[in-house]
Amino acid sequence: MRLRRIVVGTDGTPQSETALVWAADEAVRRQAELVIVHAWGAPAEHHAPYARYTWHRDLAFQRSRASAALDRAVAAVHDARPGLSVRPELVRGRPEVVLAGGAEGAELLVLGSAANQAGDGHLGPVLLACLRRPPCPVVVVPPVPAVVSRLPEVTLVGSA
């Protein structure tokens, strides 16, 4: 029997934390393993040449920061859902490539979105890339307003 798995991308932002909570709840409901993916790399590897460069150039520093963010995500899930099977994946590479590759054959790829918070309704480049060629059904979890006590409705974009 193939192990069911749900993949969630995390980067330490509030949007990814909301997606993480939703994905953990869904993994419990489906009795699936939760794979928490954090892509990392030198920002110059991922930004346009004209974008302002403000990050630390040391790869060991970048990896350490990414690892700490992933550890926090895993700890949050273990605290909230103690019995849930969780597999963390820290992968160097472009987030859209890492997420698509990690979600190949998964039941769901869960991603957070800040589109509603930004006020313009535009989705970010990583989310758009994952929606353009989805490796599996994709769930986009919008941010939860501070005054709301329940998770928002989500949009499921399926692949055939």
Which one of 3.90.1010.20, 3.30.559.10, 3.40.430.10, 3.40.50.12370 gives the CATH number of domain 5-157? 3.40.50.12370
Residue 159: pLDDT band by 50, 70, 90 thresholds? low
Q: What is the pTM of this model?
A: 0.80
Per-residue pLDDT of 81-138, as tens digits, reads: 999 999 999 999 999 999 999 999 999 999 998 665 545 567 788 889 999 999 999 9
Written as six digits, the tokens of 136 are 């599996």
Query: b/e per residue, 58-90, with b = 16+ CB within 10 A?
Result: eeeebeeebeebbeebbebbeeebeebebebeb
The identity of residue 34, as a single letter, is: L
